[in-house]
Amino acid sequence: MFAKFCLVFALIQLACAQQPFDVLVEFGTNFSTLAIETQNEISELYNFNGEIVREFNRELLLELGRMVPSMREADLSFQQEIAAADGVDDECREYVEELRELFLIFQNWDIQDCAYYAHEELSEDSVNRFLPYAITFLSENTRSISQVVQSFARNNAVSDLDALVFELDGEWEYYQTLAVSFGDFLFDEILAHADVADRVYLDLVECSETALELQIADQEYILSYLDNNCE
C-alpha cells in the first residue's frame, strides 16, 4: 500500500511538472476553495438553526414559568382559606390538609406532563429536521477536498489524461450544484421549525390552562369537606 502511495505521489509530481497537468492543480485549488466556502455557509446555517431551537425552548420555558407561579399562588391562597375556615375542628382541618398534599402530587404530575410532551415534540423536530441533512452535506463536502487524488487513483493519468479531466469536470459540476442547492434546502428546514413550534406552544398553553382548571376543581372538592366539619 505504501509503495502504491509513493507511486501515485510520484505521478502527481511528474504531472504537475508538465504543462498539460496544470489543469489538475487548478482543479485541486477550486475544489478546496469551494469546500471551504460551502463549509462556512453550512456552519452559519447550523448556528442559525441552533439559535432558532434555543428561542423556541425559551418560549416554552417562559410559559412553564407563568404556569408554576400561578399554581403556587393558588395553593398559598388555598392554605389560607383552610386555616381561616370557621366551625372546623383540628381533626378535620388536619384531614383536609392531608387531602391537599395528596392532590398536590396530582397537580405536580399535570405540570410534569405538560413539560414532558412539549419537550418530546420539540426535541424530535429539533434533532430530526435539520441536523441529519446538514451532517450529510458536510460529509459530502469534505469528500470534495480530496477529489483530485481520488480521481487520480481511479484513472491512468499517464496514458489517458483526458479521461481523468473528464471525470473531474463531472465531479466539479456535481459539487457546484451541491453548493448552490444545499443552502436553500437547509434554510427551508429551519423555517419548517416554526410550524411545529407554534403547535407545541399552543398545546402547552392549553395544557397549562387545563392544569389550572383541575387545580381549582381539586380545591373546590377539598373545601367541601369543611362545609360540614368533615362529617
pTM over 0.75: no
Q: Is residue 19 part of a domain?
A: no
**Across 79-83, 121-125, 178-182, which has the greatest mean pLDDT?**
79-83
Q: Which residue has the cell 372546623?
A: 88
Question: Mean of the per-residue pLDDT values for the chain?
Answer: 81
Q: Is residue 38 part of a domain?
A: yes
Q: Is residue 9 part of a domain?
A: no
How sure is the predictor about 152, in pLDDT bands with cuts at 50, 70 and 90?
low
Q: Is residue 100 part of a domain?
A: yes
Q: Is residue 10 part of a domain?
A: no
Q: Is residue 8 part of a domain?
A: no
Which residues does 39 contact at the CB level (< 8 Å), separation at least 6?
Answer: 138, 141, 142
Q: Is residue 16 part of a domain?
A: no
| Residue 218, domain extent | 24-228
Q: How far is CA 180 from CA 19, 129, 134, 186, in A?
A: 32, 20, 14, 11
For residue 15, is pLDDT > 70? no
How many domains in the chain?
A: 1
